[in-house]
Amino acid sequence: MLPLFSTLALSSTYNVVVDAGSNSKLYVFKTTQNETSFDIKLVNQTYTSKGTLANAYYNLDVISQIFDELCPKAEEIINTDSNNFVGLSTVPFFVAGTSLMRDLDIEDRYMVQNNTYNYIKQKCKFNITNETVTTLSAKSEAIYTYVTVNIASKDTSVQTVIGLSGGNNFVATKESNGLLSSDTITYGTHKDVIWVFTYPAFSTKSLINNYTLSSASLAGKAFINSSCYLTGYQSDEDDFISIKGEGNYTACNQTINDQTLIFEQYYGYKEGYFFNKIERPKLPSTPVYATGDSYTSNFEGLFESLKDTIPEMANFSNITLDDFITAADKYCALPLEDVKRKTSIPEQYLAQDCLEMSLQARILKFGFNLENDQVFRYSQINGVPIGWQAGLVTTFYSPEPDTNKAKQWIGIILSLAIVIIIIIIVTVVICKCVKKHKEEQAKQVNYVDPSAFDNLNEN
């Protein structure tokens, strides 16, 4: 069930969102709306704090470390953009956790959320409520991402959105695929009925763990030679499973197919509709928008560093699926030492990026049976970063119109009913008063004094 952000009152054109994931990323959005249009844009650039909010379940100092950094930064961004014209106490402040927060026990999760709320309430100048500090379900994350893509695309209606991130894998689509369960969402001036499929077990994080454990199991030891890690990489000896890199994209994909993503055919369906015996939705033939995490994950810095070495990486903002596969092939063939000379990204992540790109490419091309011209991957659309963040803000300003109209009509009907009842009561009272008055008059007209008969008898 989606958090009921829409119940809050519209108070400002600025909105602060903190994406509480493996790090804490700050977004400041500015919204403009009237009865017929809604527009949202990112103010300035995103800003990242290295703190992980989920770690506050054992170290409460994490909360102060994160928000002592992010709150002043949000103030600075808004004051600069508005020329100090906006009262910060009216600006909604959202903190939303995703997979790492979902992984916590429910008691620990609520403890972190409550302590986060109390700290921000005391130390920051923004408008925060218990409702705006939350942990998104995998389904909510999918729906908000669908909203982001569609609201950013403005007049272009997007039928299907695929998401593939560290902690989630989902499809949100307008086509029912024969299922009965659906969600009705209202955003901006739109209202859609969509079907959402979430597969957290096939998130990047889960698939990497699956690959590592299955490889070690087949090897029968806690040391593996992996074609999915760059050549020259050697993990720490203290790691539960030690890995030596032997980068080779073709061999890596074969291993992924055999051990991690088992694509199968059932009941006459085309290959790709099932893998690991879990049904995948049949996607429509209309264009599919892959989200910002969908098959570049957190690779933006890597692509920028290597675009001269791998030409396909130069087009990060809207790389095609085939170009991404080519880039992954070339990247996996590079020695780790060559890559390290071009970027400051830690070598563990550089080595593992070969595996991540291979997994994501295989899921999109085979797990969903997609053709290259069906997939459009954007890191942003019309200046709006593609993820769940802008969608959360948009639904905050989008109460259900039908529900509101129904409430208005109910209010009108109740008011009319009350007026009619009052009229009836007043009419009854008046009628009773008139009747009583007439009866009193009648008694006065017909009344004869008994003493008059005495006078007659005397005569």
Active site residues: 141
Beta strands 24-33 and 47-49 are antiparallel
Q: Are 393 and 94 in contact (CB under 8 A)?
A: yes
d(CA 295, CA 176): 25
Euclidean distance between CA atoms 13 and 10, whole angstroms? 8
Q: How far is it, in rounded angstroms, from Cα 56 to Cα 223?
A: 33
Chain centre distance of CA 328: 28
Strand partners, 264: 274
Residue in 147, 27, 50, 124 with CA at minimum distance from that of residue 394: 147
The C-alpha atoms of residue 328 and residue 358 are separated, in whole angstroms, by 7
The span from the CA of 82 to the CA of 15, in Å, is 13
Alpha helices in 83-203 (DSSP H): 99-102, 106-123, 138-152
Number of Cβ atoms within 10 Å of the Cβ of 160: 24
Contact 145, 291 (CB under 8 A): yes
| b/e code 194-223 from CB counts within 10 Å (16+ = b) | bbbbbbbebbbbbbbebbbebbbeeeeeee
Ramachandran area for residue 177 (φ above 0: left; ψ -120 to 50: alpha; else beta): left
Select from 48, 91, 89 the least CA-distant residue to 70. Answer: 48
DSSP calls for 144-164 = HHHHHHHHHTTTSPP-EEEEE
Helix (H, G, I), strand (E, B) or coil at 388: coil
What is the radius of gyration, based on Cα positions, of the chain?
A: 33
Structure tokens at 135: 């942990």
Pair 375, 306: CB distance under 8 Å: no
Residue 196 has phi, psi (to 5 degrees) of -120, 130
Q: Name every residue whose Cβ is closer than 8 Å to that of residue 145 and which is 6 or more positions away in sequence.
A: 161, 163, 170, 172, 291, 386, 387, 388, 391
- Distance (Å, whole) CA 336 – CA 246: 10
Choose among 229, 200, 199: nearest CA to 212.
229
